[in-house]
Structure 1
Amino acid sequence: MGVALDEASLLGLFLETLFYGALSIAEVVILYVHLKTGVFLTLYWLMLFILLKKSGIQRRLIIPVATLLLCIATAHLIIDFVRALEAFVFDVHTIGAVAYYSNLASPLELAKTALFITQPALADGILIWRCYVLNNKSLLVSIPGCIVLLTNTAIGYYIVWSLTQAGSGSTVYTTAPGYITTFYVLTILISVTCTTLIAWRIYRTRRPDGLAVAFLPVFIVMIESGALYATNVIALLATFLTRSNGKYPAMDIATPIVGIVFCLIMLQVHFHVGGNPPTELPDFVRA
């Protein structure tokens, strides 16, 4: 039996709150030795405290991006709370929760979707840039990555525009379904490709020190940069293709997960999880 739309939306709000401000299993596993706690807000403030002591690219780029990711996740969470109040409290006796959440063209729904598009676009941009720096500033890495990213972002905002044209009775499965599927596929492609290139670069740099030393940081990078985020997007794609309302919880937790992954990468390179970084790597990676 499928999940009802109102139940899926409420579950999504709960999970989004959980990922925004509660323990993350991936964070505990990766940073257990150093931190023993893992929340988006905690990770952000810890990363901010660390990067404020640094200079150069860390302060000029990473801090503003991390702050923007936090603001987007916070705005997304606030919108979900407001929508829940309207659906289950204020408008429950007029249109009902299911009808409320079925209105794809409502301003709050459009704002929420726009934030959902913006969050991964911003994080993927940093991921492509990190991959570019790690691979000796190769244009063969940056140009294709930027083209795919810009294409995917344009598709995402076209989806938002399509929702403004959705009439009564329309669903996300009948409103630009091909574009939505393409958006998820390209997002997975960017994540997997960049993660693989980063992991390969780290492995090649560390290989002279032995297989164990080489593979441990690669394994950690694959978990941090790829597994957590890619799993979420794959879940989004799978639930969308099967027309399951489970896509709504998966969509709601995507915004804090993007911020969690971003903070994890910054903290990992600072605490040198997986061993001391080799001196051949750029300062941005060695932090």
Structure 2
Amino acid sequence: MGITLDEASLLALFLEALFYGVFLTMYWLTLFILLKKSGVQRDLLIPVATLLLCIATAHLIIDLVRALDAFVFSVRAISADAYYSNLASPLELAKTALYTTQPIVADGVLIWRCYVLNNSSLLVAIPGCIVLLTNGAIGYYVVWSLSRAGVGSTVYTTAPGLITTFYILTILISVVCTTLIAWRIYRARRSTPDGLVALSPVFIVIVESGALYATSVLALLLAFVTGSNGQYPAMDIAPPIVGIVFCLIILQVHLHIGATPRPTKSIASCEGNANP
């Protein structure tokens, strides 16, 4: 027997709060490290990390308010299942817009980092920006479509093709950019064994973080395609997971580089700008 919509929403709130606590802890550790740095590492990464935290916080607050409204304040007037089925609810639209914004911000920094590591190549920047802008347009169009959904409508009948496309493009950006970054690091250091050994932990961190990010979106895509309400927990934990992966790379790169001789400046400085 599949999980009901109200049960899925409660489970989603619990998991989101759990992952948010992890993200909040890692954010403060990351902030402590970045405040000691200078240049682009401090000027870019601190605002991005803070923005990701603000989005995840707003998303959690909305989910908490919706849960209180569904199970406490409006329980006499409407069932929780019917409450969560209202796709055009302002709070539902707000949380969907926040969910769309979170990967757009993270993927934007990911494309920028890929662009920098590939010698500021326009062959990387232009296609990446086109895909990112397309994905953003699709995501916000889905929000608009949900705002016009009538009674009885579901996410499976409201722009299902566009929702699937949004997930696929998000995975595509993550996989392609992570692959390009990993290949660039390997190619830059393969001629110097000592340098390759020094950067091998960073190489592993980049690959593992990209895999974690892509896998979380893939799980959401599969849940959506199969029509499972498990998509709601998978969707609600996405904002804190994006922030966790963002901070995790910065923390691990900092610890690994701090524990080994400093590699070539251009590579090391760019890897300090790690992103999911």
Q: Given the two structures, how large is their TM-score scaled by the length of structure 1?
A: 0.89
Equivalent residue for 1:260, pick from 230, 235, 244 = 244
Partner of 2:13: 13
Matching residue of 1:56? 39
Q: Equivalent residue for 1:117?
A: 100
Superposition map of 1:12-31 within 5 A: 12-21=12-21
Question: Are residues 286 and 124 of structure 1, via their aligned partners in 2, closer, same or farther at CA, if it must alter by over 3 Å?
Answer: closer
Separation in structure 2 between the aligned mates of residue 276 and residue 244 of structure 1, nearest angstrom: 49
Distance 1:276 1:153 in 2: 40
5 Å matches for 1:173-192? Answer: 173-192=156-175
Is 2:89 aligned against 1:106? yes
| Residues 211-260 of structure 1 deviation map (CA, whole Å, 9 limit, x = unaligned) | 76665432221112x12211110011101111110000000000000000
| 1:206–1:213 contact (8 Å) kept in structure 2 | no
Given that residues 48 and 63 in structure 1 are in contact (C-alpha distance below 8 angstroms), is that contact kept between their aligned partners in structure 2? Answer: yes
Cα distance in 2 for partners of 1:159, 1:94 equals 29
Matches within 5 A, 1:6-155: 6-21=6-21, 39-155=22-138
- Structure 1 residues 222-261: aligned runs within 5 Å: 222-224=207-209, 226-261=210-245
Q: Cα RMSD between the aligned structures?
A: 1.7
1:219 aligns with 204
Q: Compute the displacement of 1:204 (Å).
A: 1.7
What letter corresponds to residue 183 of structure 1 in structure 2? F
One-letter identity of the residue aligned with 2:212: L
Q: Deviation digits for residues 32-66 of structure 1, max 9, x if unmatched?
A: xxxxxxx2112111111111122211222111111
CA distance in 1, matches of 2:107, 2:272: 20
Counterpart-to-counterpart distance in 2, 1:267 and 1:146:
27
Distance 2:121 2:255 in 1: 27
Q: Which runs of 5 or more structure 1 residues have no equivalent in the other structure?
A: 22-38
Matched, 1:3 2:3: yes
Equivalent-residue separation in structure 1 for 2:252 and 2:127 (angstroms): 27
For 1:67 and 1:215, how far apart are their aligned partners in 2? 29
Bigger shift: residues 140-149 or 266-275: 266-275
Q: What TM-score do you get using the length of structure 2 for normalisation?
A: 0.93
Distance 1:245 1:125 in 2: 29
1:270 aligns with 2:254: yes
Could you say what secondary structure the match of 2:229 adopts? coil
1:285 aligns with 271
Deviations 1:139-197 (A, max 9, x none): 11111001000000000000000000000000000000010000000000000001111
C-alpha contact 1:66 1:259 (8 A) present in aligned 2:
yes
Q: How many correspondences in the alignment? A: 269
Taking a change above 3 Å as real, the CA distance of residues 276 and 186 of structure 1, as seen in their structure-2 partners, is farther
CA distance in 2, matches of 1:42, 1:276: 28
What is the distance in 2 between the residues matched to 1:160 and 1:119?
Answer: 14
Question: Per the alignment, in what secondary structure is the counterpart of residue 44 of structure 2?
Answer: helix
Superposed displacement of residue 275, structure 1: 5.0
Letter in 2 for 1:264: L
Between stretches 214-223 and 99-108, larger displacement belongs to: 214-223
Distance in structure 1 (CA, Å) of the matches to 2:234 and 2:261:
35
TM-superposed CA distance for 1:282, in Å, is 5.5
Contact 2:199 2:263 in 1 (8 A): no
Partner Cα separation in structure 2 for residue 218 and residue 283 of structure 1? 14
1:202–1:217 CA contact under 8 A, matched in 2: no
Aligned to 1:31: none
